[in-house]
A and B are shown apart, each in its own frame.
Chain A
Amino acid sequence: MSNREENIGGQKHPTPGKTAAVKKPASGKTVAKKAATKKAAARKVPVKKAVSKKAAGKKAARKAAARKAVPKPVSVLIVGAGFAGLGMAIRLKKAGIEDFVILERGERVGGTWRDNTYPGAACDIPSNLYSFSFAPNPNWSRSYSESAEILDYIEYLVAAFGLKQHIRFNHNVSGLDFDEKQGLWTARLAGGGTVRARSAVMAQGPLSNASLPDIEGVDAFRGKKIHSARWDHDYDFTGKRVAVIGTGASGIQIVPELVDRVASLKVFQRTPAWVIPRPDFQTPGWNKALFRAVPASQKALREALFWTHETMAMAVIWNSPLTRLAERLARRHLHRQVRDDWMRRQLTPDFRIGCKRVLVSNDYYPALQKDNARLITWPIAKLSENGIRTADGVEHELDCVVFATGFDVPKSGTPFPVRGRAGRELGEEWARGAQAYKSINVAGYPNLFFLFGPNSGPGHNSALVYMEAQLDYALRGVQRLMDDNLKLLDVKPAVQARHNKQLQKRLARTNWNSGCKSWYLTEDGFNATMFPGFATQYRAQMATFEDGDYERVAL
């Protein structure tokens, strides 16, 4: 991206300023307490042994001890260095908590935005809302930024808040185990080794694993195969016969980018999505200058965007007159952009708007109508050596197949085994649908916080708004553990059950549960993904940390 450097360099608050601000603790009280806790921890935890060995004074023995000694547990371990994990780190630092580590399986930060670099990758939420409120960027080049610019923003966060020293790259967590006696979480690493911590934050992201779909013959196809989340930037599309399988959020962004480069583009659609226009424009220079000079103006815009999106909940989450209005808007968009009746029919969804993710695009429909493009709605029978065979008996010969088929959603379970109290395993417990308390804690798994856990998904507003509410809540949990010297902080099962009963009752009345198949639901139609309400309601839910909801065991 040409604007990469400009963005980082052009930040109103340059890195040092930010870092200085960060270093200032949020409250003196927390720091004082933290120091006390550290001392307390030092008293209790295995350091004792190390001290006695040191007293022996022998060099060789000390060396051996250093090899054998289990490293001192950190206060917090965070799994994943995407928006969630880094956001958590920033929050911890602001609260004066420095002894935490981020375990990242990749070589770079950025999560979703590191992985999704396919042409046209962009966020569906305006950048001024899809960014942290505590780290505004006055320099967004567009109203809806592309992935590279978002990744730049994430890298800026790392630099500005001094997070790099906390990140351990190429550390792939293969399991998390809780030791009830000591009140410690142990993260097992794929390459061997462990990391222990008093609390753990799962920030690995709900949509971080992608694999080729289970279509017959996927392995038989001899041409090039590319998954949208693992883009091959070295592949030259010029003059190639290309297929895109999937017309979800990634597919409709890829199609307009590829169509002009390739000889022919065939778009294989199973279910059409509702597509609404995207009010996308370049940010004028005066606008950036204004944001830099008067930060309050950017804050005001963010507020306005927030409330506009909140209104959309009325259309997207529940069936209301606004739902009809939104469908009319989408239908008009389709009518205006697509001339042919049959194609319009092929592109018209037969489920209520909001039931699946609503897509935004101005250039997808026009791209489908280019001379070298074709929309194919026949079911795919299989992939053959040379292409795709559809159920109408025809084989489409291809050089390359792009799989825009989305992610492996761990509907029932966790990305790696998580063992809580008394050896219980979370994946087994979640086999019939995940459940948590306020999306963030799970009974039986103390001192563990989930970012984007069960029922935290927004359908209408910025994920980062939800995330900030979670970060604050998790921070409060971590502070409870440290300040009150707790060994266990475990949500009560009855509290969690009551919460979920209410949640499912409210979900039953939403558009997501109105009959369409989507990744929000398990095979049995259980919704463990979305939060049934406004972002404001979610924020309110996360704003209070009721100690009475938790079992507390002192160290």
Chain B
Amino acid sequence: MASIDLDKMLAKVKASQWALADIDWDAPGAELITDEQRPKLKAFMADLMWIEHVGARGFAAMARKAPNDTLKEMYTYFHAEEQRHANAEMALMKRWGMLDGDQVPEPNKNLRLVIQWLDRYSDDMPLEVLGSVIPMLEIALDGALCTFLLDTVDDPVCHQAFARINDDESRHLGVGFTVLEMQGHGDTYIKVLKTIATLMDPRLILGIASYVPLLNRMRDNIIDMGLGEERLYAAMKKFERIGGRTADGRRNPWYQIISRHGRIVINRRHKLYHAPVDAMVRLTDRIPDRVMPSRMPTWVKGITYKPVV
């Protein structure tokens, strides 16, 4: 087993806490953001911030389902840490003059759908689903996006913040993959049956309908920023590589489903998948605001760029 010792990891997580106040948000370097970069970076940062925030909510749901106290406490910390990342990213936006006053940027429509889904159904999802989707989201969207950002932005404060964020994320992933393996351990047949049963759940189908276009939209955003989509794909392959490094991990049906799906996502020639999904992305953009779920859950308001409140 490549698994890590979860108790030691929890102690490490607790010992590695940092705060927004540890970073000097007024240090020089903000001027390194070019005017050309600014509008696209603003959209990108807003998405990134919201993805962290959404990931946070995922961990909150996982804390409820955790099979033992250590994992429960770990997920409670991860929930807070993802929120911390969102807060730090918002603080960067504030630093770069991308915030409209104190306003939290609006999430895009795909994200809004994901937020709605998470709010309504994530607590009902089995740990297996979230335990597999969250590492994928973390590694693909979060991890990969952060690397892109550091390639394009020269502001040292941004690098300083992301050095800390990436340290946290590597711990999240380490735990994520260990749990993936823990869940792959045991009778495959029962697991496959359970997986199929869960897949039939309309609530999950709704979730898939929100998750799938989100990946494609992020790919489009990355291309918009003038970056190669290969980097995103490389990150997604990493999920397949690390998640599948042990037999237990490979036996987890959710790992199989998500890594296979990842393979399809990075295969642009897979028209059967991309044509309808790209259409979904365009479609969500056209959903009139009045049809969109109007009431946002209050947990999205917990975000702040202020180091001290």
Contacts and interface: CB of A to CB of B under 8 A. Distances in A.
Interface of A: 340-343, 345, 350, 378-379, 381-382, 384, 386-387, 389-397, 517
B309 A395 contact: yes
Top 3 nearest A-B pairs (CB, nearest first) are A393-B84, A391-B80, A381-B17
A397 B309 CA distance: 6
A120 to B, nearest CB: 26
Given A341-B119, A341-B298, A384-B21, 17 more contacts: A341-B297, A342-B119, A342-B297, A343-B298, A345-B123, A381-B17, A386-B308, A389-B21, A390-B80, A391-B77, A391-B80, A393-B307, A394-B84, A394-B306, A395-B19, A395-B309, A397-B308
Contacts of A384: 21
Contacts of A342: 119, 297-299
B308 A394 contact: yes
Contact of B87 (A343, A350, A382, A394): A394
B309 A396 contact: yes
For chain B, the bracket of interface size reads: 20 to 34
Contact of A392 (B87, B119, B297): B87
B64 A392 contact: no
B298 A382 contact: no
A379 B80 contact: yes
Given A381-B19, A389-B17, A517-B69, A394 B298 contact: no
A331 to B, nearest CB: 14
Interface string B166-187: 0000000000000000000000
A379 B77 contact: yes
B123 A378 contact: no
B20 interface: yes
A393 B88 contact: yes
A350 B62 CA distance: 12
B198 interface: no
6 contacts: A342-B298, A379-B77, A386-B308, A392-B83, A394-B308, A395-B308
B304 interface: yes
B76 A394 contact: no
A390 to B, nearest CB: 7
A386 B309 CA distance: 11
Nearest to B298: A342
A396 B302 CA distance: 13
Contacts of A392: 80-81, 83-84, 87, 302
B273 interface: no
B18 interface: yes
B77 A394 contact: no
Nearest to B17: A381
Contacts of A386: 308
B253 to A, nearest CB: 26
A344 to B, nearest CB: 10
Contacts of A393: 18-20, 83-84, 87-88, 307
Interface string B231-243: 0000000000000
A389 B87 CA distance: 14
B27 to A, nearest CB: 17
Interface in B74-102: 76-77, 80-81, 83-84, 87-88
Contact of B76 (A340, A345, A379, A395): A379
A43 B83 CA distance: 77
B249 to A, nearest CB: 28
A110 B5 CA distance: 48
Which of A342, A384, A393, A394 lies at the interface centre, i.e. has the most chain B CB atoms within 10 A of its CB?
A393
Given A341-B297, A381-B17, A517-B69, A394 B123 contact: no
Given A350-B64, A379-B80, A395 B307 contact: yes
Contacts of B77: 379, 391
Nearest to A374: B309
Interface string B190-208: 0000000000000000000
B156 to A, nearest CB: 19
Contact of A389 (B19, B69, B88, B297): B19
Interface in B1-54: 17-21
A43 B276 CA distance: 103
Interface in B97-145: 119, 123
Contacts of A381: 17, 19
A517 B298 CA distance: 29
A397 B19 CA distance: 13
A396 B76 CA distance: 19
B126 to A, nearest CB: 15
A519 to B, nearest CB: 15
Contacts of A345: 123
Nearest to A515: B69
Most chain A beta-carbon contacts within 10 A, residue among B18, B76, B80, B307: B80
